[in-house]
Amino acid sequence: MSESSQNLRCVIVGASHAGSQLAIQLRKNGWTGEIVLIGDESQMPYHRPPLSKAVMSGEKDADGILLRPAPMYQAQNVTLRLNERVQSLSAENKQVVLVSGEVLAYDKLALCTGARPIRLPLGDGLDGVCYLRTLADVEAIRARLDEVRRVVVIGAGYIGLEAAAVLRKLGKDVTVLERAERVLQRVTGPQMSAYFQNLHRHHGVDIHCSAEVVAINGQQSVESVTCADGSTFKADLVIVGIGVVPETGLAEMAGLKLDNGICVDEHACTSDPDIYAAGDCCSHPSALYQRRVRLESVQNANDQSRVAAANICGANEVYNMTPWFWSDQYDVKLQAAGLCDGYDRIETDGSAEPGSEEGFVVTYYRDGELIAADCINRAKDFMYYKKLLGS
């Protein structure tokens, strides 16, 4: 560091991928002062991607998805404050106030507040209407599964389709209702949407697109879901996965600039020089796409928090990573590099038939330039295109 941080305190709000990574990286970059990591869940920081896959299926439990063992935080002298929530933030006074009323002053602050699920204004108070964001959410779903036969999943993004795949493998009758014209419409092109739609139908999932849910029905527990066209689907369990919104409440309170989340520069710094942000909660300038982007991915959370930690410690690092994502459904692995929105040309290589072992790749172009690639069971191609986009 350019100056000693021995008597300084860095407070990190949010103890998921970005927050946990940032805390450890601060020490690696020479921060010698206090580090306080505040999380609103009671669990130690854990991996979120397995929630809709290995945890839902029962292959992994809470201990099996920890980001780091407890002794590592102790060894790095990171104070973990779990099951705590920050109620307010004053940038002027450089302090956060916890729900308990405790006031924590900071010299540097990192907001790693993530995102929260978009909630449907339907089915309030009904037993069996579930969301899928936290370990507690998945544990609540798993606790019901023995008595569940019919599941309706609302939303055909990654989370909804991953949950549908696991539940189908567990022998449940699964119906997926998607408001858009095709599955994964927000994140991929029509070829990949058709592939995943066929894959799920091949495994016995009932998928309905252009399906606007207007009611979740039941007395005490959920019994059915009704769409705008009058069609009704019986359900013992409903899982809602219709997207997330960035958690910006504290940033708004502090008067920080917002733009599709908390607005940070290429150094992960907000409009306040002593406050940084990383992960799902913030948008950053992308040199590759020449616009601001907000990414909901583990890769982004980890890489951006590394840059934030270095710069809190006095470095001048720029965050300019190629976005990448993955999804596991049945025995299929999708690995995506780049962002495909705005493409004007698509090329396909390989067989998109469900059950084909060779896999395939869809590449997306705009004005003759490669902007993204979706790879099904083609890890080497994914690495190639990821590297190509990065160059």
Task: For residues 391 and 307, give the distance between their C-alpha atoms in angstroms, rounded to a whole number.
Answer: 19
Quick one: which of 228, 52, 46, 47 has its CA closest to 130?
A: 52
Ranges assigned E (strand) in 310-378: 324-329, 332-338, 345-350, 360-366, 369-376
| Average of per-residue pLDDT across 376-388 | 96
CATH class assigned to 331-390: alpha beta
Segment 382-389 mean pLDDT: 96
- Say if residues 44 and 19 touch (Cβ distance below 8 Å): no
- Could you please report the per-residue DSSP string of 34-45? EEEEE-SSSSPP
The pTM of this model reads 0.95
* Mean of pLDDT over the chain: 96
Does position 391 have pLDDT exceeding 90, yes or no? no
286-343 pLDDT per residue, tens: 999 999 999 999 999 999 999 999 999 999 999 999 999 999 999 999 999 999 999 9
Q: Most distant CA pair in the chain: distance in Å? A: 66
Contact 103, 190 (CB under 8 A): no
Question: Is the confidence at residue 1, as pLDDT, over 70?
Answer: no
The span from the CA of 89 to the CA of 202, in Å, is 51
Instruction: Quickly count: other Cβ atoms within 10 Å of residue 314's Cβ.
Output: 13
- Mean pLDDT, residues 207-219 taken together: 97
Answer with the residue of higher pLDDT: 279 or 4.
Answer: 279
CATH topology of domain 119-242: FAD/NAD(P)-binding domain (3.50.50)
How many helices and strands, by DSSP H and E, does the chain display? 9, 26
Residue 2, pLDDT > 70, answer: no
User: What confidence score (pLDDT) does residue 3 get?
Assistant: 54
Q: b or e along 243-274 (b: 16 or more beta carbons within 10 Å of the residue's beta carbon)?
A: ebebbbebbeebebebeebbbbebbbbbbbee
| CB 277, CB 111: distance < 8 Å | yes
Number of Cβ within 10 Å of residue 145's Cβ equals 18
Q: Where in the chain is the domain with CATH 3.30.390.30?
A: 331-390
The pLDDT of 229-256, averaged and rounded, is 97
Given a cut of 50, is residue 174 above it in pLDDT?
Answer: yes
Q: Is the pLDDT of residue 211 over 80?
A: yes
- With cut-offs at 50, 70 and 90, classify the pLDDT of residue 220: very high
- Residue 356: pLDDT above 80? no
57 touches 329 (CB < 8 A)? no
Ranges in the chain annotated CATH 3.50.50.60: 9-116+245-312, 119-242
The pLDDT tens digits of the residues spanning 70-93 come to: 999 999 999 999 999 999 999 999
pLDDT at residue 8 tops 70: yes
Fold of 9-116+245-312: FAD/NAD(P)-binding domain (3.50.50)
Average pLDDT over residues 16-44: 97
Mean pLDDT on 18-47: 97
Quick check: 241 and 131 in contact, CB under 8 A?
yes
Tell me: pLDDT of 56 over 80: yes
